[in-house]
Structure 1
Amino acid sequence: MNKTKFACLLLGLLFLQTVRAQQPNFLFIITDDQTYNAIHALGNHDVHTPTLDKMVEEGVTFTHTFNQGSWSGAVCLASRCMINTGQSVFRAARNFSYLPNWGRIGGEETQVPLWGATLRQHGYETFLTGKWHLSNEAALESFDFAHAIGEGMYETYDENGSNKFAYGREKADDTSWSPWNLDYKGQWAPFVTDIVYNENGKAKISATYTVKEHTSELYANKAINYLLTHVKNSEKPFFMYVAFNAPHDPRQSPKEFVDMYPAQEMKIPDNYLPEHPFDQGDKRIRDEMLAPFPRSKNAVQLHLREYYAIITHADHEIGRIMKALEASGKMENTYVILTSDHGLAVGQHGLMGKQNQYDHSVRMPLMIIGPGLTPGKKIDEQVYMQSMYATSCDLAGISIPQTVDFKSLKPLLTDDNAKGEEYIFGAYKNLQRMVRSQQYKLIVYPEVARMQLFDVKHDPLELNDLSDDPHYSEIKSKMIEKLKEQQAKFGDQLNLRTTFPAYF
């Protein structure tokens, strides 16, 4: 090889190393069951979230972020399947049982690459801690390292640890159970697994083991250890997937956090109802059985107390992770994404869970901090949370796999004239369908032949149903047509004509 060719080759290698060094890192943090406004800086002054408030101040906040739905009462499972496949709710549902899986694009069978696996294949080192809720095979395909892979949820037990103790919270003066009592296990004694390697370097999932440490503290500690012992001394770009069980029930946290929220001082939501006005399809699902029927104000106050306490506790642990990221020296080239898998009712509309199409349950926070982003910027365009797969690929200069349905949010991050989703689609089992614009929302309940129409721009708490108001008949008809379009777009095969022949 002559000197000129050698010099060109050397320059090319140096250029590739420079490009690689500049490739951004990603720290993805996801909570569980955190509704969109359960952050102090976003208008809820009853909850204390100093770390998340700082993220709002330093990053870009998407104010209208949505989960597309679920084929299961375990909405978090469906949400996480969509996050990690990038596929819309019906395609993800068809592939869920086979993760890592195969799907069909244009009639041809093709592999569905998972989020972590895609970044991994493009030079990223990938790390997981916390709630995964998908298969072991999917974890092994997606991550180089995983420490403390958590379960979907953790049940509580009696003082002897022998009998399951139902997390049913009834009244504000109930003293038979306390969130800080370690004897009840649950979040205080999670059983987890790791990715381990044998002597030949082959990865597998370890045996399950139990840790006597709160889930939020455990996951934060694993993330911090990875940042300070591995990331700090590595030049390889990284993708961290840090998934909290909090604030999912059982809502347990240290006493100092619970004491911040006296139950009798908890503000009852303005859209509180003793019971939902009709059975929306899963009235007696597990989440709805956590409080008595009708919902007393005392019960709602007790739930809110523990909900806010575990959010504040998680906020504290997220703050520790952020300090470790800064100490690692990698903050300036890292995109930090904070979101949740969906929201939660906690007494609103007479509901306690997330198996409904109201904003408190389908809408979640989304903040992104990173290089080149405008601090404090708020984007009101409608987006899907499951766009994080495409967005990270786009920010990293990686081609988005053709199997990914949800589009990148990079244009919204960088262009003030970019647009989000004109209409958001929502589905829950075959019990509910929803379409939402920036001003109106239509919810259809085929099992009970009911519809609701809300002007969410002027009635954000969804208190005034306009579906039978003749003044809104044209709006109703338009939203029905948009629902049909969304069903066709996403391959929804639910036939609404049987229940609503006049409209469908």
Structure 2
Amino acid sequence: MNRRQFLKNLGVSVAALSLPGCNMLSQKGLGAALNGKRPNILFIIADDQSPFDLKMYNRDSILDMPVLDELASEGMVFDGAYHMGSWSGAVCTPSRHMVMTGRSVWHIPGGGNPNAGNPEMVPAGLPENTMAAIFNRAGYATMRTCKKGNSYKAANEKFTVCHESTQRGGTDDTGSAWHAEQVLNYLSDRQANNNSDPFMIYYGFSHPHDPRNGKIDLLAKYG
């Protein structure tokens, strides 16, 4: 499956890019919702990415990302979500925990959270009410591809298909393109198996994030 087919196979696309947020639902997705048809969902998240790097938030951006621009125009983006903060200087781990649980930074598990051991603040059964678990109960096929090590492990394990990588390099094989291939392969397998269940894909980029590296051609273009 190529990227053009990938776009056509999406019902509703959600671009949660650096967690800014919007309230814009495509007519295609809205029509499906009104007709009782469960839409396909692609949830995209990146760390350390300013929303104003993206043309969907800043028309004057010099970054060329035609696929993301098309997904944003046909789906929905966030324009009013704000990161609550962290227990340290790094916000990547709590941001993913909050997304997975829908809870505040003080009500999620994590070694830096002083409330993590308080069952009234972080209940023991929390993984059963995280993103993938809820979509599974709703009859969705769930898939996740993302960085390993700064995410909520118990929530990640609820996805029926899960790919993780510790690599954050400056090549297609070691960077964000690897995660894109996992998504495309997953959709190809669904198509080959005639899987008609709606899907929810959690697609997390490995970049931008420390270490600050990039592909040679992109460094030459933007550096």
> Fold conserved (TM > 0.5)?
yes
Task: Return the letter of the residue paired with 2:47.
Answer: D
Q: Which of 152, 166, 174 lines up with 1:214 in the alignment?
A: 174
- Which one of the candidate residues 36, 47, 56 is aligned to 1:32? 47
Note the alpha carbon deviations across 1:229-267, whole angstroms, 9 max, x for none: 125620112111111111113233322222212xxxxxx
| CA apart distance, 1:222 | 0.7
Change (3 A) 1:109 1:254: closer
Q: Contact 1:68–1:88 (CA<8 Å) still a contact in 2?
A: yes
d(CA) in 2 for partners of 1:59 and 1:123? Answer: 21
Task: Decide which of 110, 118, 121 is 1:96's aligned counterpart.
Answer: 110
- Give a deviation string over 1:462-490, Cα, whole Å, max 9, x none: xxxxxxxxxxxxxxxxxxxxxxxxxxxxx
Shift of 1:136: 3.8
Change (3 A) 1:236 1:110: same
RMSD between aligned residues = 3.0
Aligned to 2:151: 134
The verdict on how the C-alpha distance between 1:56 and 1:221 changes in structure 2, with shifts beyond 3 A counting, is closer
Q: Which residue of 2 aligns with 1:49?
A: 65
Q: Distance in 2 between matches of 1:237 and 1:84?
A: 19
Bigger strand fraction: 1
Alignment partner of 1:187 out of 169, 185, 208: 169
CA distance in 2, matches of 1:134, 1:250: 17
Cα distance in 1 for residues equivalent to 2:134 and 2:89:
29
* Residues in 2 aligned to 1:231 and 1:116: alpha-carbon distance in whole angstroms: 21
- Normalising by structure 1, we get a TM-score of 0.32
Please list the CA deviations of residues 11-42 of structure 1 after superposition, one character each: whole Å capped at 9, or x if unmatched: xxxxxxxxxx9222211111121112011343
The Cα of 1:111 is off from its aligned counterpart by 2.2
2:42·2:202 contact (CA, 8 Å) conserved in 1? yes
Gaps of 5+ in 1: 1-20, 155-185, 190-211, 262-304, 306-504
Instruction: Select 1:227's aligned residue among 187, 196, 200.
Output: 187
**Secondary structure of the corresponding residue to residue 104 of structure 1:** coil
Shift of 1:121: 2.0
2:198 to 234, 237, 244: 237
Alignment of 1:256-267 (within 5 A): 256-261=217-222
Q: How far is 1:220 from its partner?
A: 0.7
Corresponding position: 1:114 with 2:96: no
Contact map agreement 1:103 1:111 (CA 8 A) in 2? no
SS, match of residue 145 in structure 2: strand
Residue 27 of structure 1 aligns to which amino acid in structure 2?
L
| Among 51, 60, 85, the residue aligned to 2:101 | 85
5+ residue gaps, structure 2: 1-35
Letter in 2 for 1:237: P
Tell me how far 1:109 sits from its aligned partner. Answer: 5.7
Report the counterpart of residue 208 of structure 2 in structure 1: 247
SS at match of 1:222: helix
Cα distance 1:229–1:81, how it changes in 2: closer, same or farther (>3 A)?
Answer: same
- Does the Cα contact within 8 Å between 1:33 and 1:248 map onto a contact in 2? yes
TM-score (normalised: structure 2): 0.68
Distance 1:138 1:102 in 2: 18
Alignment of 1:404-423 (within 5 A): none
**CA distance in 1: counterparts of 2:76 and 2:143, whole angstroms:** 24
Cα deviation for residue 134 of structure 1 reads: 2.7
Q: How far does residue 89 in structure 1 lie from its aligned partner after superposition?
A: 1.3
Distance 1:89 1:66 in 2: 12
Q: Per-residue displacement from partner, 1:309-342 (whole Å, max 9, x unpaired)?
A: xxxxxxxxxxxxxxxxxxxxxxxxxxxxxxxxxx
C-alpha offsets along residues 34-92 of structure 1, whole Å, 9 cap, x if unaligned? 11201134324332232233334334444343111111222110111111111111112
Query: How many matched pairs?
Result: 180
Aligned partner letter, 2:96: R
Identity %: 31
Change in 2 beyond 3 A, CA 1:56/1:27: closer
- Decide whether aligned partners of structure 1 residues 46 and 86 sit closer, same or farther in structure 2, where only a CA change above 3 A counts: same
